[in-house]
Amino acid sequence: MDKLSSLCFLIVSIVTVLLVSRLWFPIFVNLPPEDMNDEKQSFEKHISLMSKAPHHPLDPLTVQEINKVRDILSSYEPFSNSFPTIHSLALEEPDKSLVLSWEFGNPLPPRRAAVIGILYEQVHVLSVDLELHRVIRHTANPTSGYPMITMEELLSALDVALANSNVQKSIHARGVKLKDVRFLSPSPGWFGKEEEGRRIVKLQFYSIQGTSNYYMRPIEGLTVTVDLNKQEVVKVADTGKGIPIPRSTNTEYQYNGETEPPEIKKINPISIEQPKGPSFTVENGYIVKWGNWEFHIKPDQRAGMVISRAMLYVPYMDFDEHWYFKTYMDAGEYGLGLLSTSLVPLNDCPRNSYYMDAGRGEARQKVTLVARMVSTVGNYDYIIDWEFQTDGLIRVEVGLSGMLMIKATPNEYAVNKDNEGFEPLVSENAIGVVHDHYITFYLDMDVDGVNNSFVNIDLVKEEQVDNKSPKSTPRKSIYKPYKKVAKMEDEAKIILSLVDPSEFHVVNPSKLSRLGNPSGYKIVPTATAASLLDLDDPPQIRSAFTNNQIWVTPYKKNEQWAGGFLTYQGRGDDTLATWSQRNRPIENRDIVLWYTLGFHHVPCQEDFPVMPTVSSSFDLKPVNFFDRNPILRAAPASVDDLPVCNARSSLNF
Amino acid sequence: MDKLSSLCFLIVSIVTVLLVSRLWFPIFVNLPPEDMNDEKQSFEKHISLMSKAPHHPLDPLTVQEINKVRDILSSYEPFSNSFPTIHSLALEEPDKSLVLSWEFGNPLPPRRAAVIGILYEQVHVLSVDLELHRVIRHTANPTSGYPMITMEELLSALDVALANSNVQKSIHARGVKLKDVRFLSPSPGWFGKEEEGRRIVKLQFYSIQGTSNYYMRPIEGLTVTVDLNKQEVVKVADTGKGIPIPRSTNTEYQYNGETEPPEIKKINPISIEQPKGPSFTVENGYIVKWGNWEFHIKPDQRAGMVISRAMLYVPYMDFDEHWYFKTYMDAGEYGLGLLSTSLVPLNDCPRNSYYMDAGRGEARQKVTLVARMVSTVGNYDYIIDWEFQTDGLIRVEVGLSGMLMIKATPNEYAVNKDNEGFEPLVSENAIGVVHDHYITFYLDMDVDGVNNSFVNIDLVKEEQVDNKSPKSTPRKSIYKPYKKVAKMEDEAKIILSLVDPSEFHVVNPSKLSRLGNPSGYKIVPTATAASLLDLDDPPQIRSAFTNNQIWVTPYKKNEQWAGGFLTYQGRGDDTLATWSQRNRPIENRDIVLWYTLGFHHVPCQEDFPVMPTVSSSFDLKPVNFFDRNPILRAAPASVDDLPVCNARSSLNF
C-alpha cells in the first residue's frame, strides 16, 4: 500500500464541490477602481445579471427561470413523495442548428433546463421545458457513476466521520484536537467491485494548528470512507501511526509586511493603461465584442467558462467568412467541478494584456483580449485564459497553482540515491506527491460552416533515389508535407511525436481560397504530457481520453464530457474513448476536436508552501483562412496614442 | 534538381553579412520619449559607450582598443607584404577562472582581441594581446570552412555576377531591368568535393519592380556562383525559363493609412506604465541590475547578445548562494551572423513587461525583466528574449518573423491531392518553401559553483506485482521519478519523447539544502522540432548538433559554437557532434548545457507578404535551489501603487 499510494493522479487529490453561487466573470477587469477590491459587489453584479431576461439562446438560466424549474419539479408526480437532492441545474442548450439559425431580434428557442438529482441512490437526469411547464425527458441511472457531490453532503459526511469514536481516537493519538481538524475529500474513483453500488466519499485530514495553510500538515495514513446514503462510516484505514505531522514553520503564504526581511528587492509599480478605455464591450451580459471578434461567454457549473459562437469578421473578404465553435473545458474527466474564484484585481489580471509583434522596418502592436477564469478545486488553482488575437489566433493557456498534495513521512532528510525511484522531500517530513494534470478541451470547430474535415499534414522524409541523373544534386534527403484527410475516427487519434511530426488542420473542404487552398484552422500543441499508466488500470480506464492527445468525433449533442456525463465513481463506460471505439465517419461533417493538455509534476522545494504557477498552452491558428496576413492594415501605434501617467499616491483620489 | 531544391533548410536562405556597427542594445527601452524614434541617436549612444574605458573583464573592445589592434597587426611581420581582409575582430574573453575571481576594483585581466582574417584564401586566426602589444597566437586554416563573408565581398561578387553577359541575358529574358534586380546570397553550404578549395558565394535574384518587398518576386531558377578570390563567375545555373515572376499585387506590408478599408477594427491605445521609473539600472554600460538579478550583457557579432555572470542574490540564505552562466546563442550553426536591428519603440518593446501570477487568497504581480534582441538576417527576423523573473526562472523565447523564402512556380492555383506531397501556394505563382529553423543555445551553467552534474529524472512506470499481499490495492500502475546522474557525455544526449518523459536537472552535488536535496536548475523544453534529414546528408553532417535536443559537454574555452568556429563552407568536422564523440566525463565538473530550439515551418497564405511572428521558448527553472517558494515575501500590488493616466493627445507635450 505504501509504495503505491505514494504516487497518484490528481483524481485522488481534489475536493469535488458544486457551488453555483460563486461563478462570475473575471472578464470585467475594467471596473472603475472603486469597485476593484469589492468581491461582494462583483457577486451582486452577477446576481443582478442573472435576474435579467435572457437575450441569447445560450444565456444561462435566470433566477426566475431557476425558480420556475423548481416549481415544475415540485409538482412532478414521480417526486411527489420525496424530493431529490439537486446536484446540477443549468440551461439545456438548444440544438446546435437552432442556435446557428437564430438571429438577434428573433424569439429565443424554447428555454429548457437540464437537471441532475439523486433520490434513494438513484441518479435522475431530467429535461424540463419552461414553456411547456413540464418534464419532457427523465432517465434514471443512464450510465455508471454519480453526479458531483454537494457541499451539504460533504459537510454531513464530515460530521459522520468525526462523530466516529475510532476516528476520534486516531486523531487524538496524533496529538491533534478535533477543533483543529480540516479535511479534503479526494474523489474515490472506481477500482472494481468492492465499492460498487455505494455512493461514498473518502475523507483525509489535516491539522490547522499553527498555520492557515493546513494542506502542508496532513494527518498521514488516515482515510475514512463514508456511505453518503446510509450516512455511516464504512471503513477507517489507519496505517500512519508514528508518521509525524509536518511542522507548521514557514508554511504561511500571506504577505506579512515588514516583519521579515524581504527576499526580493522592491520593484517599482507597473501598470497597463488604456486612457481611452477598453476596446471591448459586453452586451446583454454575455456577448463580448472586441476588434473583429465576437463571442458568447457564460459561466458553467462544470466547465467553468464556456465560449460559444466565437466569430471573426473579415469585412474585406468576398464571401461571408465566419466560424463558430463552442468550447467546453472538460474538467469532468476526474469529476472536477471547476469553481470560479474571484480574481484579485491588479494582481491576477492586468487592466489589459499587452503583447508585441515585430514586422520589418515597421511594426504592429499585438494587443489581445484575454478571458480569464480562475477555479479553485480544493488545494489546487486552475487559471484558464482564452486569448483572442487580432490576427485570428486563439491561444488557450492553463496555469496551475495552489497547494501541493502533501504526504507525511518519518524522514526529515532526503534520500537521494542514483538509479532509484524517489519521493521528493519539499520540507521536513513532507513529501510533495508526484502527480499529473490533464485538462481536456472540447472544441466544436465550425470553420466557415458546419461541415469540416480533419487533415493530418505529415512531414515525411524523401530520399533522392536517382543520384546519377543529370538533374541530381548532392543533397540526399528532404522532407515534404503530405496531406491525409481523416475519413474515420481512428485516423484522427493522435499521439504526438517529435521525431514523426505532423500539423493538424480542421478545414472546410467546400470553401477554397482564390488559390484553391481550403479554409482552415490548425491546432498547435506546445508542451504537454501523456499518461504513463497501464491502459487497463482502473484510473486509466476512466481517463482513457488521455490515451491520445487529439481525438476527433462527429458532433453529438450528448457527447460533451470526455470523462463521461456522470464521472463520480464512474467506471469509464461513457467516455470519449468508448464513444470513439465505433470508429465513425468524420470526413466533411460537423466534427468536434478534442485536445488534452497534460502536465507531469515532480515537486521541489520551490513548490512549498504554495506553488509558483506552472503553465502551458496550445494555439488555434488560421491556415489559409485569410487571403493574406490580416494584421497588415492595422495602423502602427505612435507616441501620441499613449497616455501620460502620474503616480496615484501623488494625487488625492 | 527541381524536386530537391523545392525544400531546403534555412541554410540556403540567408544572407551572411557581418556588420559590427549595427550592434546596440534594445535594453534601453526606458529612454525619454524624445529619444525614442531616433535611431541615429541610439547608434551614437552606442558609439559613445564603445569609446569609454572597459570596466569589466567581459566588456567589449572599445574603439581605442580596436584601433590599437589594427596598429599591432599593421606592423605584424607575416602581413608586411599584404594585409588580410578582417572578417571578425572582437574581445577574446579571459579564461573563465580569471572572470570568476575578478571583483570590482581589481585591475582587469589582460585585454586580448580575437581576430579572423583572410589572405590569399588562407584563414588566419589570431590572438592579439593589447598590453604586450603583439600577436601571441596565430593559426592558419585550423579546420575546414571560412569565416562569414563581408558586405564588401558580397557587393563586389554582385558586381562580378551582373557584369557577366550570360547573367545579363538571363535577367533580360525574364523581362527584368538590371536596375530592378535585388539579390540574396544563401550560404552555399558544403556538399562534397566539387566546390572544396574555392571560397564561393551563390547569388539569387529578385525583382523590386512594383514593390518594396522584392522577396516575394524571385527570378526563379537562376543561381550564379562567384569565386570570391578569383572574382569570377564559376557557374550560371539557369533552369527556370518560363516560370513567371510572381506578381507584385498585395506584396506591400507598410501601413498605407486610409487608402484601404481597415481589416481590423481600431483598438484603443494601450500602454504599460511605471510612473516611478524602471526598476533596473545599467552600470558602466554593460552591467544590468534588477530585483535580485545581476548580469553582464554585451553585443556579439556572431551570437547577437551574450549574457554572462547572471547571478541571483538571495540575502536570507545562509551560504553565499549565487550562480553563473554564460549564454551564447549559437547562430553560427548555419553561418548566420545575427544582426541586431534597432527596435521600433512602443511597438517592439513595451515600456515594461507585465505578467501575472496567482497565489491563493492573495496574489503577487509577476514582473519580469526582458532583454530583447532583434536580428535581421536577410529576409528573416529573429527576436530573442531573455526574460528574468523574480522567482529565479529564466524564460528564453525565440520569435521568427520577416519574409518567406519564395519559390516561383507556373501554377496560379494550388494542387491539393490527398496522400501526396505538396508545395504550399501562398500567392499566385508563389510557393512558400517548407523549411526548418534551429537555434542552439550555449548555456554555461554554474549552479552554486563551477562543478555541476547533469541529472536525468526519468519518469518510470512501476506495476504492482504482488496483488495478493494484504497491503495491495486495486491500483495496477504508477510512475516514479528515477534519478540518473550522467557520468559521460553519451548519457546526456537527449532526444525528447512525450511517451518516455524525463526532467533534466543541472545540480551541484556538493551543495545540499537543509533537506539534503542538491541545489539545481532544470531546463524545461516546450514546443520544438527535430531534423528529419538523413544523418549522412551533408547539411545534416554540418548541423549534427540538431541530432539531439540536449547535449552536455565539459567546459572548454574553444568549444563555443555548435556548428564550429568556421562554418561558411565548413564540412562539419568541428562541431558539437564531433567534440562530443569523445564521450568525456561530465560528472561533478564544469559543464556546458546545449539546447536546440527547432521549428518546422509549412507556410500558408497568412505568411504572405510578411509572416506573423511564430515563437517558442524554454525555461531554466530553479529546483531545490531555494529553500522554499521565493516570491512569498514580495508585497502584493495595491491600487495606490498604480498611476493615473491621461491621454497624451489631450496634453500639450
The type of residue at A261 is: P
Q: What is the pLDDT of residue A261?
A: 54
Q: What span, in angstroms and rounded, lies between the C-alpha atoms of B237 and B219?
A: 12
Active site residue B380: yes
Active site residue A330: yes
- CATH label, B281-639, candidates 2.70.98.20, 3.40.1280.10, 3.40.50.300, 3.30.70.600: 2.70.98.20
Question: Which CATH code fits A52-140?
Answer: 3.10.450.40
Give the DSSP H/E element, type plus range, for residue A283.
strand A281-283
Q: Under 8 Å CB-to-CB from A650, ≥6 apart: which residues? A: none
pLDDT digits (tens, 9 = 90+) for A330-364: 333 222 323 333 333 333 333 332 222 223 344 55
A428 touches chain B (CB under 8 A): yes
Q: What is the pLDDT of residue B224?
A: 96
The type of residue at A70 is: R
| pLDDT above 50 (res A648) | no
| pLDDT above 90 (res A252) | no
pLDDT digits (tens, 9 = 90+) for A130-153: 999 999 999 999 999 999 888 889
Q: What is the pLDDT of residue B23?
A: 24
Asked whether the beta carbons of A157 and A201 are under 8 A apart, the reply is yes
Asked whether the beta carbons of A47 and A91 are under 8 A apart, the reply is no
Cβ of B269 and A641 within 8 Å? yes
Q: What span, in angstroms and rounded, lies between the C-alpha atoms of A529 and A112?
A: 38
Secondary structure of residue A2 in the 3-state scheme: helix
Q: What span, in angstroms and rounded, lies between the C-alpha atoms of B474 and A539?
A: 10
Across all residues in chain A, what is the average pLDDT? 80
pLDDT digits (tens, 9 = 90+) for A451-508: 999 999 999 999 887 667 777 788 888 999 999 999 999 999 999 999 999 999 999 9
Q: What is the pLDDT of residue A339?
A: 33
A642 to chain B: closest CA residue: B648
Query: One fold for both B150-259 and B281-639?
Result: no
B529 touches chain A (CB under 8 A): yes
Q: What is the pLDDT of residue B564?
A: 87
Instruction: Give the long-range contacts of residues B189-195, CB within 8 A, separation 24 or more.
Output: B189/B11, B189/B12, B189/B538, B189/B539, B189/B542, B189/B569, B190/B144, B190/B145, B190/B538, B190/B542, B190/B569, B190/B570, B190/B571, B190/B572, B191/A473, B191/A474, B191/A475, B191/B538, B192/A474, B192/B538, B194/A474, B195/B225, B195/B569
Q: What is the dihedral of CA B166, B171, B174, B175, to 10 degrees?
A: -120
Q: What is the pLDDT of residue A322?
A: 30
Q: What is the pLDDT of residue A415?
A: 79
pLDDT digits (tens, 9 = 90+) for A546-583: 999 999 999 999 998 898 888 888 899 999 999 999 99
Asked whether the beta carbons of B158 and B172 are under 8 A apart, the reply is no
Give the DSSP H/E element, type plus range, for residue B86.
strand B85-91
Q: What span, in angstroms and rounded, lies between the C-alpha atoms of B151 and B159?
A: 12
Asked whether the beta carbons of B382 and B338 are under 8 A apart, the reply is yes
Residues 606-625, chain B, touching A (beta carbon < 8 A): 606-613, 616, 622-625
Cβ of A471 and B1 within 8 Å? yes
Question: Which CATH code fits B150-259?
Answer: 3.10.450.40
Domain edges within chain A: 52-140, 152-259
Q: Which of A227, A330, A444, A448 is catalytic?
A: A330
Q: Under 8 Å CB-to-CB from B204, ≥6 apart: which residues? A: B183, B184, B185, B186, B218, B219, B222, B223, B224
Give the DSSP H/E element, type plus range, for residue B101.
helix B96-101
Q: What is the pLDDT of residue A255?
A: 67
Count contacts between A and B (CB, < 8 Å).
597
Q: What is the pLDDT of residue B639?
A: 58
Q: What span, in angstroms and rounded, lies between the C-alpha atoms of B370 and B350?
A: 10
Q: What is the pLDDT of residue B586?
A: 98
The type of residue at A537 is: D
Residues of chain A with Cβ-Cβ distance to B499 below 8 Å are: 495, 530
B433 to chain A: closest CA residue: A480
Q: Is the peptide bond before A609 cis (omega within 30 degrees of 0)?
A: yes
Q: What span, in angstroms and rounded, lies between the C-alpha atoms of B148 and B561?
A: 14
Alpha carbon A465 to chain centroid distance?
Answer: 49
- CATH label, A152-259, candidates 3.40.640.10, 1.10.150.120, 3.10.450.40, 3.90.1150.10: 3.10.450.40
Q: What's the rounded mean pLDDT across residues A532-552?
A: 93
Q: What is the pLDDT of residue A171?
A: 96
pLDDT digits (tens, 9 = 90+) for A94-109: 998 999 899 889 999 9
Cβ of A350 and B350 within 8 Å? no
Q: Which of B59, B227, B300, B330 is catalytic?
A: B330
ipTM: 0.84
Q: Where are the beta strands (DSSP E) in A107-177?
A: 112-119, 122-129, 134-140
B256 to chain A: closest CA residue: A633
10 Å CB burial of residue B502 (0-12, 13-18, 19+) is buried
Can you give the length of chain A in residues? 653
Measured at the CA of B190, the angle between CA B185 and CA B195, to 5 degrees, comes to 85
Cβ of B267 and A390 within 8 Å? yes
B45-68 burial: b if 16+ Cβ within 10 Å, else e? bbeebbeeebebbbbbbbeebbeb
B374 touches chain A (CB under 8 A): yes
pLDDT digits (tens, 9 = 90+) for A611-636: 888 999 999 999 999 988 887 766 66
Q: What span, in angstroms and rounded, lies between the C-alpha atoms of A572 and A558?
A: 16
Q: Which residues of chain B have pLDDT under 50?
A: 1-39, 42-43, 315-362, 647-653
